[in-house]
Chain A
Amino acid sequence: MQHRAGLHRTPALLRVRKNGGLYLLMVPAIVIFFCFTYLPMYGVIIAFKDFKPAQGIWGSAWAGLKYFERYFNSYMFGNTIINTLVISLYTILVTFPLPILLALMCNQMYARRFKKFFQVSTYLPHFISTVVMCGMIIMFLSPSSGIIPRLCGFLGMNIGDLMGNAGAFSSIYVWTEVWQHVGWDSIMYIAALSAVDPQLYEAAEVDGASKWQKIAAIDIPMLVPTMITLFILRCGSLLGVGFEKVYLLQNDLNIASSEIISTYLYKMGLKSNQYSYSAAIGLFNNLVNFLILILVNGISKKISDTSLF
C-alpha cells in the first residue's frame, strides 16, 4: 500500500521538479503582483478601521462600518452615484453600438487604399494622451477663442460656455470619447468579420440577397459572441468611469454633474487625507462593480452560452 501511494505521488512531484524553470520565469511577476496588488487588497481593511499612519494598517483601531455609513448618509452619496451612473450608462449606450456600425461599414468597402486610409485615420485619435485630449476639448470649446463656438456661430447657433454648463458635461465626455476611440474599438469587430467564410456571401448572392440582407443575416450574427464578451466587460466597470478624463475636465462651474465616485474619493483620500473614509468609498465601488460583473456574466451564460468565466 505504501509503495503504491508513493508511486502515486511521484509523477506530480516529478512534474513540478521537471518544470521548475517555469516557476522561475514567474517569480518576478508573482513578487511584484503580491507586493503592489495583493497587499493593497489586504490594506483594504483600513476601510473598517480608524487608520493612523503611525499605527500602521493592522495596528489601527477597528471602526466597524462607521465610514460606510458616513458615505451612505452624506449628501455626496446620491450625487456621486447618480453622476457616475449617468456618465457610465450614457457612455455604454453610445460607445457600445457605434464601433459595431463602423466595422460593418468598413467591411463593405472594397477600395483598398481608401479603406486603409480610413482605418488608419480613425484609429489615430486613440493615441492622443488623456491630458492632450482634455486640453483640446477645453481649448476648442472656449467661448472666447474656441473653434467650435466659432463654427456654431457661422451657423447662427450660440452654444455659450459649454465647459461651464453642468448639463452639457456628460455629452462632452461621451462624444469626445466616441471621437477618440470609436475607430480603435471597431478593430475587434473588423477582425471577427474578416473571419467570415466568403462562401457564405457567395451563397447569399446566389440566393439574391441584397447587401442589407447579407449584413443582417451573416455579419451581425457573426459579431454576436464578440459583442457579448465586450458587453460583459463593459458592465463590469459600470461604476468605474475613468478618473483621468473626468478629473481633468472638471471645473467649479460643472462640478455639480462632474463629481463622480472616483474623483470624490481621490479628493477625500489624497487631498484631505481621510484615508479610511476614502478606502471605504473605494471598496464599496469595487464590490458593486464586481457583483454586477458576476451577475451579467451569469445571465449571459444562461441565455447565450457566452461568458468570461
Chain B
Amino acid sequence: MSISVSRRREARPNHIRKSRSDRVFDAVIYTAAALLTLIALYPMYFIVIASISDPNLVARGDVLLYPRGVSLEGYSYLFSMSNLWTGYGNTVLYTLAGTLIMLIVNIPVAFALSRKDLPGRGFFTFYFIFPMFFGGGLIPTFIILNNTFHMLDSFLVMVLPFSVISYYIIVARTFFQTSLPGELWDAAQIDGCSNLRYFFQIVLPLSKAILAVIALWAAVGHWNSYFNAMIYLRSPERYPLQLIMRNILINNEMAATAMTGSAAADLNRKANLIKYGAIVVSSLPIMTMYPFVQKYFNQGVMIGALKG
C-alpha cells in the first residue's frame, strides 16, 4: 500500500507536467503533418480536376476545389494525337526490355560480389563502383556510342548501354550478404551444387523481394527518363512518351491533327486543356501502381541504407 501511494505521489506532478507540454507538441506535429499532406497532394489533385474542367474557368482561377464545367474534351483531343500514343507504346517497350536487361545484368553481379570466396573480389567491386564517382562525361560517351558502336537512333541504345547501375548492384549485394546465410552455400556445396545452379535454383527464388525492388526502380527510371532519348534518338517515331511530353508541355508544340479548324483564340485554351490531360495520362500508370508496391520501394531504400 504505502509503496504504491508514494509512487503515485511522485509520479503525478511529473505526469501532468509532461502531458500538457506533450499535448501541445502533438497538436503542432499533427497540424503540420496535415498541412504538409495537403501541400503534397493538392498540385496533383488540381491537375486532375483541371483536366476535366472548362479551360476558361481554369484560366480565370475559378477551379480550385472541385471540377467545374465538366467535359472530356481534352481527353478526346488527346486520343486523336497519334504521336502521343506512339510515344506511349515506345515507352512501354523500352520499359519492359530495359527493366528485364537491368535485372539480367545487375543481379548476377551483385550475387557474385556478395560472395567472400570470389577471387579478385576487391578488384571487381572497384570496377563496378568507381563509375559512381568518375565518368567520361556526356561528349566522350556520345562519341563512343556514335562513332565506335554506331548505335545512334536505335532501339538498343535506349535499353542496353546504361543498364549497369552501380547503385542497384550495391543494394542487391547488401541484400544477398545479409539475407543468405553462409551455411546455405556450404550445404549446397556438399550436395555437389555448382555456383550457377546455386544462384538460379536456390538464391533467385529466395530473393523475390530484391528482384521486385530493382525491377520497380528500373521501371520507374525508364518510364520517366527523357535525357537519353533526347541525346541519342533522332527519328520521332522512336521517341518515348517523355520526349513527346516535353514537346507538349515545355516546347508548346501541339499536334496539328488535334488543332485543325481551331481559331487562334481557341488554340491557347485547348493547349492548356491538353497539357493537363497529357500529364494525367502519362503519369497514371505509375501513380496508380505506386500505393500497391510502395512497401517494396521503402524496403529497397532501407536495404541500401545498411552499410555495404
Contact = CB atoms under 8 A, between A and B. Distances in A.
A109 B133 CA distance: 38
A105 B33 contact: yes
Interface residues of A, number: 95
Nearest to A22: B112
B272 A145 contact: yes
Interface stretch (B75-83, B123-131, B206-214, B259-267): B123-131
A1 interface: no
B279 interface: yes
Contacts of B282: 129, 132
B228 to A, nearest CB: 11
A29 B106 contact: yes
A279 B135 CA distance: 11
B39 A179 contact: yes
A72 interface: no
B61 A150 contact: yes
Contacts of A15: 117, 119
Nearest to A45: B140
B44 interface: yes
A226 B134 contact: no
A53 B279 CA distance: 40
Nearest to A17: B119
Interface in B127-166: 127-128, 131, 133-145, 147-149, 160-164
B25 A211 contact: yes
A56 interface: yes
A218 to B, nearest CB: 15
Interface in A239-289: 243-244, 248, 262, 265-266, 269-270, 275, 278-279, 282-283, 285-286, 289
A127 B217 CA distance: 10
Nearest to A105: B29
A224 interface: no
Contacts of B245: 129, 131-132, 135
A32 B225 CA distance: 20
A75 interface: no
A174 B136 CA distance: 27
B105 A28 contact: yes
A116 to B, nearest CB: 10
Contacts of A43: 136, 140-141, 143-144
B8 interface: no
B305 A139 contact: no
A6 interface: no
B111 A56 contact: no
Given A26-B109, A124-B40, 7 more contacts: A12-B119, A33-B128, A44-B140, A127-B283, A139-B272, A208-B14, A226-B305
Interface of A: 12, 15-16, 19-26, 28-30, 32-33, 35-44, 46, 51, 53, 56-57, 102, 105-106, 108-109, 111, 114, 117-118, 120-125, 127-132, 134-136, 138-140, 144-145, 147, 150-151, 153, 179, 183, 187-188, 191-192, 208, 210-212, 226, 229, 236, 243-244, 248, 262, 265-266, 269-270, 275, 278-279, 282-283, 285-286, 289-290, 293
22 contacts: A22-B112, A25-B112, A35-B144, A37-B164, A40-B144, A41-B135, A46-B140, A51-B143, A105-B32, A106-B33, A114-B30, A121-B40, A125-B40, A131-B245, A132-B245, A138-B250, A147-B46, A188-B301, A191-B298, A262-B138, A286-B134, A286-B135
**3 tightest A-B contacts by CB?**
A40-B136, A135-B249, A282-B137
